[in-house]
Structure formats: structure tokens, C-alpha cells
Amino acid sequence: MGRAVNRHIAGVDEAGRGSLAGPVIAGAVVFNEGDAIEGAFDSKRMSIRSRELMSRKIRTMALDWAIGAATAMEIDKLNIHNATLLAMRRAIIGLRVRVDYAYIDGKFCPDIPIPGEAVVRGDEIIPVISAASILAKVFRDRQMIWIDGLYPCYGFRKHKGYPTEYHRAALKTNGPTPEHRMSYAGVVSDKI
């Protein structure tokens, strides 16, 4: 009798949908079916330090992982829904190992060359999606800290582009940067 072959399962999730600035980032992580990494759960419920540590652990222990992005310009051109699906597709295509099946967090699947399904709140119930959500969040936060260095008066380091009171005030005072999503209400001064 031959040895049982492990199926490779990918999880995909995004970070940055509700932000007024910066890219939307998707993470894709591959585990053997049934595997999990202890302590990896929905990134939104973890502290920054815990996410950073878990991101390192995931990148070390996963069979493979990849990041996909869609820029603010792509979001404006395609809308956030389609840009998110594009970022997810890019993450999946960036994987180097063969993937047998993909679980996508949310209601919709991107156009990918493997079978898969969308799972609402999948980041809370499917470990490989939880891992992907952590990678996406950590990568995007780092991206926004880098963007903060380019545009320090906006406070991206603190709010990561989300519509905080400080961010809205900076937009009113300084106007939008090239990293802002011009199609979003609250970005262009006549929409604030």
C-alpha cells in the first residue's frame, strides 16, 4: 500500500478594506490539511506584538506563504471589492507549492486556478485563514509605517490609514496624498 498524500490547503484573507489610504493587502498561507499553528487566530483580536511574533512563526512553519496587493490607484479604478479579489488572486498565484484547495475569507472567491470556496468569518473558524489574516495585517501595517515616513503629517504610523479623527483633520488641512483612495468619501475635501 502506498503512503497517504497530504493535501495542501491554502487560506486567504485581506487587510485594509476600510482604510482611506494605502493598498489592500492579501495574505495566502499553505498548510497540510488539518494542520494549525497554536495561537494563530483572527488578527483583529491580537495585540501588535502578538501578531508580529505569530507572523514570524507562520512564515517559518507554513509550507508556503505569499502576499498580494492592490494599490490605492487600482482600488479607485476597480472599486474595493474587485481590488480585494485582485490582491487575493495575486497572493494565490504567488505561492510556489502545489495547492489542492483554497479557503477564502468572505463571501466571494477570486478568479484562481484551483478549486476553493468563500467562507464568511473564515478567519475565526479556519486556522489556515487565520494565519493568512495575520500575515496580511502585519505586512500592511509595515507598509503604512513606511508610507508614514513619506508623509509624516498624516499619522499613518498610528492609524494605518483608517478614518480616525486625526486622519480626517490631516486630510482637511493638507489634502490627500497619492496614497489616498480618491474614490472614497472623506478623502477629497468637498466630500469631507
Rounded percentage of the chain residues whose pLDDT exceeds 70: 92
* 67 occurs within a structural domain: yes
pLDDT at 189: 58
* CATH number for position 30: 3.30.420.10
pLDDT at 36: 77
Q: Average pLDDT of 11-24?
A: 97
pLDDT at 3: 54
Nearest to 133 by CA among 21, 25, 7, 50: 25
Cell of 142: 509595515
pLDDT at 20: 97
Cell of 76: 479607485
pLDDT at 192: 40
Per-residue pLDDT tens over the stretch 57-110: 999 999 999 999 999 999 999 999 999 999 999 999 999 999 999 999 999 999
Side-chain half-sphere CA neighbours of 17 within 13 A: 13
Instruction: Tell me, rounded to whole angstroms, the distance of Cα 100 from its chain centroid.
Output: 22
Which burial class, exposed, middle or buried, applies to 182 when counting CB atoms under 10 A from its CB (0-12, 13-18, 19+)? middle
Judge whether 85 and 28 are in contact, CB under 8 Å.
no
Parallel, antiparallel, or unpaired: how do β-strands 64-70 and 101-105 relate?
Answer: unpaired
Cell of 168: 480626517
* 166 occurs within a structural domain: no
* 77 occurs within a structural domain: yes
Q: At what angle do helices 48-61 and 127-150 cross, to 10 degrees?
A: 120
Phi (first) and psi of residue 69, to 5 degrees:
-140, 155
* 97 occurs within a structural domain: yes
pLDDT at residue 122 greater than cutoff 60: yes
Does the predicted model carry a pTM greater than 0.75?
A: yes
In terms of residue numbers, what domain contains 126? 8-141
Total number of domains in the chain: 1
pLDDT at 191: 46
User: 47 falls in which pLDDT band (50, 70, 90)?
Assistant: confident
